[in-house]
Structure 1
Amino acid sequence: MIRIVLSIQYDGNLWHGWQKQKHKLTIQDKLEEAIKKLILIKINVICSSRTDTGVHALEQIAHFDTNIKKSKILWLYGINHFLPPTIVINWVHKFKINNIKEKNFHSRFSAISRIYQYILYNNILKSPFLYGKVGWTHKKLNINLMNNGAKYLIGLHDFSNLKSSKCQSKTSIKNIKYIKIYKYKKIIIFIINANSFLYHMVRNIIGLLINVGNGLYKPIDVYKILKKKKKYNIFTFMPYGLYLTKINYSNIWNLPKKKNINFFLNIYKFLVQ
């Protein structure tokens, strides 16, 4: 038995998130359909981080098990041949399955951390060229205030007040390693690295920090919300600007290392000249 590992990119606008559903309009549905067309066998694909409707991925990692023998290049071109144009496999890696379960690579449980980026267009008017690829807010934002508020989220905390009521995670304790916020003209970039995330956690953080940036909340209010010292309204920000950009694993797995080139950011820089 062989474990096939995939690195996947996708535009989330046309799909209802990662996890398969009855209407079969998800990334997992389309990926499993493509693999079935290639090997004529139904399989189940497991991913590293489930993404919501409208959320994009520059590097989603997933795996499946099979007895079918093909070279990595045949898996790569074969699966891509049957995928829609908004979903692409970047690379394929193979592992032999060990008899000891803990010794096997697992796309979800072997992951050390996940990195998400949020691209926000901060301008009075929307841009028709950026629709579906970035978030948007018309109120002017203060980067320093947002960075000061973000500091309270760093580290190991209970994020139960920053998750969706539909979240099914066994624990709300998560460890955010860093949050970086910087600006290029009318574009604001949020980068968040954590061991894992709760349902809607990233979009709730973005919504919270935007309210700090526009002066509705103070940076210290982030701490109060996190520790539930006071009841605040938190809005889940739009998904369009959210990108799963990197899944970090130990070097022992020797997975292909491809530099994460922010090509989309370069395009956006061109569009906001």
Structure 2
Amino acid sequence: MRIALGVEYDGGDFCGWQMQDGVRTVQGCVERALSKVADHEVRVICAGRTDTGVHGLGQVIHFDTEAERSMRSWVLGGNANLPRDISLLWAATVDEEFHARFSARSRRYRYVILNRWVRPGLQRGRVSWVHAPLDVESMRAATQYLIGEHDFSSYRALACQAKSPVRQVYSLKVDRAGEYVYLDVHANAFLHHMVRNIAGVLIAIGKGERSPEWAREVLELRDRTQGGMTAPPDGLYFIHVEYPERFMLPEQVRLPQF
């Protein structure tokens, strides 16, 4: 039996999603919890690996098991064995053709910026902080150059292991609500640090350090060393994965709002 699960987590105290020896990871905690429920070793596949400090609201995973449990038991049993900063949201049976990563049609991220002159207290680690005033209209003008299918070499980490730097960005939106600026990115897939590097370029433009056209210039260089800063992981949320309707998985998009 193949089981799909929805997962949310606060990434602040994890060294990212992927299992690593000697450090605390989301995958490691989830696999240990599900292994206790299944009464056998469980290995999970996720829709998208997140970095240290990045949060997940709409992560999707799958695993195979011969254990017979109700979907409610997978969720409640898993949560009973998970730390407080991870929660399983739902469970569903899927056919063997389902793959959390390769069956995904698209993914969505939200980057949250607290834009005020004093640093955050209660929201430390949950938002990125920019003290200089941001011009949202300039940031919006820059987004037009990044929408569509492009070679995003300048917007990926130097250590990115993806075979191709080409990605399709369906939408890139910038909105302000009081002291908060929200960057919403929807794409078929993402490169390592791609969202954080896009955020870094847009922040520089919003601060007036660069013109909106700089987003296009960086893209055309196809050279990460010529790009902008990598924005911090604080404030980055993996919010949604889209799958074909035939898998009948929950499609709710949950947005972090402050």
**Normalising by structure 2, what TM-score?**
0.96
| 1:84-163 paired onto structure 2 within 5 Å | 84-97=83-96, 104-163=97-156
1:271 corresponds to: none
SS at structure 1 position matched to 2:210: coil
Task: Answer whether contact 2:47 2:101 (CA < 8 A) is retained.
Answer: yes
User: What is the distance in 1 between the residues matched to 2:222 and 2:53?
Assistant: 33
Q: Give the one of 199, 202, 210 matched to 2:192.
A: 199
2:57 and 2:254 in contact (8 A); partners too: no
After TM superposition, give the deviation of residue 42 of structure 1 in Å: 1.2
Q: CA deviation at 1:261?
A: 4.1
Q: State the partner residue of 1:7.
A: 6
Residue 38 of structure 2 is matched in structure 1 by 39
Q: Which stretch shifts more, 84-93 or 229-238?
A: 229-238
Determine if the alignment matches structure 1 residue 26 to structure 2 residue 25.
Answer: yes
Partner Cα distance (1:47, 1:184) in 2: 32
* 1:179–1:190 Cα contact (<8 Å) kept: yes
Secondary structure class of the residue paired with 1:49:
coil
Q: CA deviation at 1:24?
A: 4.2
Deviation (angstroms), 1:57: 0.7
Rounded Cα–Cα distance in structure 2 between residues aligned with 1:229 and 1:76: 44
User: What's the offset of the Cα at 1:137?
Assistant: 0.7
Alpha-carbon displacement from aligned partner over 1:42-99 (angstroms, at most 9, x marks no partner): 12100001000000011100000011111111111111110001100000001243xx
The root-mean-square deviation of aligned C-alpha atoms, in Å, is 1.4
Offset, 1:41: 1.3
Retained in 1: the 8 A contact 2:45–2:63? yes
Contact 2:240-2:254 within 8 A present in 1 as well: no
Pick which of 30-39 and 109-118 moved more: 30-39
Structure 1: which 5+ runs fail to align? 98-103, 269-273
Moved more, 246-255 or 36-45: 36-45
Shift of 1:203: 0.2
Give the equivalent residue in structure 1 for 2:248. Answer: 254
Q: Deviations over 1:6-26 (max 9, x none)?
A: 000000001111000001400
Task: Tell me which residue corresponds to 1:178.
Answer: 171
- How far apart in 2 are the matches of 1:229 and 1:9? 34
Aligned to 1:245: 239
Q: How many residues align?
A: 257
Runs (4+) off by over 2 Å: 229-233, 259-262
Q: Secondary structure at the match of 1:175?
A: strand
Give the match for residue 101 of structure 1: none
> In the alignment, is the contact (CA less than 8 A) between 1:10 and 1:88 conserved in 2?
yes
TM-score normalised by the chain length of structure 1: 0.91
Does the Cα contact within 8 Å between 1:38 and 1:78 map onto a contact in 2?
Answer: yes
Unaligned runs of 5+ in 2: none
Supply the distance in 2 between the matched residues of 1:166 and 1:46 (Cα, whole angstroms).
Answer: 22
The 1:47–1:95 alpha-carbon spacing in structure 2 relative to 1, beyond 3 Å, is same
2:105 aligned counterpart, secondary structure: strand
1:25 and 1:134 map into 2 onto residues whose CA distance is: 22
For residue 62 of structure 2, give the secondary structure of its aligned residue in structure 1. strand
Which one-letter code corresponds to 1:122 in the other structure? N
Contact 1:24 1:30 in 2 (8 A): no
Question: 2:102 and 2:222 mapped to 1: Cα distance?
Answer: 33
Q: Give the letter aligned to residue 112 of structure 2.
A: I
Q: Aligned partners of 1:177 and 1:3: how far apart in 2? A: 30
What residue in structure 2 maps to residue 235 of structure 1? 229
Q: How far did 1:233 drift?
A: 4.5
2:161 matched to 1:168? yes
Q: How does 1:203-218 map to 2 (within 5 A)?
A: 203-218=196-211
Measure, in 2, the Cα distance between the counterparts of 1:166 and 1:178: 26
